[in-house]
Amino acid sequence: MRNLYQRLKQQREASPALPAAGAAAAARAVAQPSADLAGEWQPVAQQVWRAVYRSPLLGSDALYRSAAHGGLLLGPEIDPHGLCFFDSETTGLSGGAGTTVFLLACARLHGAELETTLLFLSDFSGEASFLHLVRDQLMSAQTLVSYNGRAFDSNILRNRFLLNRIDPPHRPHIDLLHPARRLFGSLLERCSLAVVERDVLGVTRDIDIDGALIPDVWLRFLRSGRTGELQSVFAHVRQDVVSLVALLAKIEELVASPDRGGIDPLQRARLLVESPYRRAGSVRLRRSGLQSLSVLARDPSDPRSAIAARYYCALLKRCGNWDVAVPIWRDHFERRRSVWAAIELAKFYEHRCRDYAAAAETVAHAAGWDHASAMQPELTRRLERLDGKQRRASGSSAVRGHSDSA
């Protein structure tokens, strides 16, 4: 900074009316890259390049099968051909308005082939055209698939669209990070795509660039104009989207036949219970989840049995299998004094049997347990509501109540 100051001072002293714009223009002419991207690269706009690759797609059967029969994330309403697997590379990892996207990779299924499109920005001034092309790519898809794209790529892209006053694209978005964490989180050192790829998919990259170094490569390219180093970045991002396709297939495969992957039945059950992707997750899949859990849930010597029972019953509930669920809840309510079981049981009495008295009695019982203090507010709320329902049910004409608070 001191040098800068002195040079600024000196420059001012040397030539008070410095033709600064001219000097800058001269500097720019030197720095401007020739952008000699060859081969599959086509210039598509000022400073914007595109490359398209086709490759055979192995193991696509799982995807098509899940889509047809209903899987964890895919279902009949999603046409696999409408999926767009995408990843982007940026000038920084810390976010903020000054972080720019310079590379986008999108992969689409074409039968047994995968078509990967790369869009590359070779200098800032082409950003608006670049973003229009990115937008076209993403908007042509039905559903986007990414890894950590919800938190990172989408946010940075959204910033870029806002800054360039272009409408950001809106498409449903499946982020594979969440299911990958559930399924593999306990098995892996980290849940980065690189680790998942290596340890779950068994992909080995011959030569690869560390993702954290990619911003520097592009910034160096801007200054030198040399494209050599960029090749490893292009290869890297291509492999990323190919792995995304494989990962989605792997997740569907493991969830559909859990015994093969050695995955934690509890985590798998949690995924099925908590899955935000409610439209998917077929009955068949939930049923298959039950088998592995039922054994665990009935083994009181296993410390995980309570939680297993909880997920087991939650899955049973989704399948409408009350006959099996209710005795388990009752057992946990009566013998183990589990608050969650009391609540489930009360819900069952209230909504399935319309027996508000039994529901209220169950809740009141649980509210009396010392260890239930943390749940007290919820129990109280539930009790109040049940009392109201009971009053209305017993003499609806006498009660001029407010609207149903349920």
Partner 1 sequence: MADINRIISDLQNDSSFMSCVTRWERIGPRPGRYCELPGDLDPRLQRALAGRGISRLYSHQGQAYRNARSGHDSVVVTPTASGKTLCYNLPVLQAIIERPETRALYLFPTKALSQDQQSELGEVVLASEFGIKVATYDGDTPESLRASARETGQIVISNPDMLHAGILPNHPKWIKFLKQLRFVVIDELHSYRGVFGSQVTNVIRRLKRICRFYNTDPVFICCSATIGNPLQLAQTVLEREVQLIDDNGAPAGERHVVLYNPPLVDRVQGIRRGVVNEAQKLAIRLLRQKVKTIVFSRSRVRTELIADYVNKSLANMYTDNARIRVEPYRGGYLPSERRAVEKGLRDGSIHGVVSTNALELGIDIGGLDAAILGGFPGSISSSWQQLGRAGRRQSVSLAILIASAAPLDQYMVANPDYFFGRAPESAFVDADNIYVLMDHLKCAVFELPFGADEGFPQAVTEHLALLEEEGTIRLSGHSYYWADRGYPAEGVSLRSATSDNVVIIDTSGGAHSVIGEMDRPSAKEMLFDNAIYLHRGEQYVVLQLDLHNRRALVERSNVNYFTDALVKRDIKVLHEDHRQQLCGCEAAVGDILVRTQVAKFKKIRFRSHENVGYGNISLPEEEMHTRAVAMIFAEGSAAGNALAQLPPTMIAPAMTRIGALIRNVAPFFLLCDARDIGIAERLRDPHFGAAALYIYDAYPGGSGLAEAFVTVMPEVLTAARELIAGCPCRQGCPSCVGPRDSAEEIDGDPKQALGALLEAWLAHAQPLPKTQTAARS
Query: Is residue 173 helix, strand or coil?
Result: strand
Distance CA 333, CA 399 (A): 33
CB of 215 to partner 1, least distance (A): 4
Structural tokens at position 352: 């399935």
Please tell me whether residue 163 binds partner 1 under the rule CB under 8 A. Answer: yes
Nearer to partner 1 among residue 5 and residue 403 (C-beta): 5
Q: Does 151 bind partner 1 (CB under 8 A)?
A: no
Which residue type occupies 51? Answer: A
Residues 202 to 241: which contact partner 1 by CB under 8 A?
A: 215-216, 219, 222-223
Residues 5-44, one symbol each (x = binds partner 1 by CB under 8 A, - = not), give xxxxx-xx-----x-xx-xxx-xx--x-------------
Residue with smaller CB distance to partner 1, 159 or 239: 159
Minimum distance from residue 87 beta carbon to partner 1 (Å):
18
Backbone angles phi, psi at 143, to 5 degrees: -140, 140
- Of 76, 98, 111, 185, the one binding partner 1 (CB under 8 A) is 98
Give the shortest CB-106-to-partner 1 separation in angstroms. Answer: 23
What is each CA distance from 216 to 179, 210, 305, 322, 381, in whole angstroms? 31, 11, 50, 58, 56
Instruction: Kindly state the tokens that stand for 107.
Output: 């992969």
Query: Within 124-143, which residues bind partner 1 (CB under 8 A)?
Result: 124-125
- The 53-92 site mask, x for binding partner 1 (CB under 8 A), equals --------------------------------------xx
- For 91, half-sphere exposure in the C-beta direction (CA atoms, 13 angstrom radius) is 20
Looking at 40, 61, 79, 95, which residue binds partner 1 (CB under 8 A)? Answer: 95
What are residue 146's phi and psi, to 5 degrees? Answer: -145, 175
Burial (CB count within 10 angstroms: exposed 0-12, middle 13-18, buried 19+), residue 194: middle
Minimum Å distance from CB 1 to partner 1?
Answer: 6
Task: Return the closest-CA partner of residue 306 out of 181, 314, 85.
Answer: 314
* In the complex, least distance from residue 162 CB atom to partner 1, rounded to whole angstroms: 5
- Distances in whole angstroms, Cα of residue 359 to Cα of each of 323, 354, 384: 17, 9, 12
Q: Which is nearer to partner 1, 93 or 357 (CB)?
A: 93
Question: For helices 127-139 and 154-163, what crossing angle results, to 10°?
Answer: 130
Which of residues 135 and 198 has its CB atom nearest to partner 1 in the complex? 135
Nearer to partner 1 (CB atom), residue 55 or residue 125 = 125
Residue 32 or 373 having the CB closest to partner 1:
32
- The reply on whether position 162 binds partner 1 by CB under 8 A is yes
Question: Helical H runs in 200-338?
Answer: 214-224, 230-256, 258-261, 265-274, 283-297, 305-319, 322-334
Contact positions toward partner 1, by CB under 8 A?
1-2, 4-9, 11-12, 18, 20-21, 23-25, 27-28, 31, 47, 91-98, 100, 123-125, 158-159, 162-163, 215-216, 219, 222-223
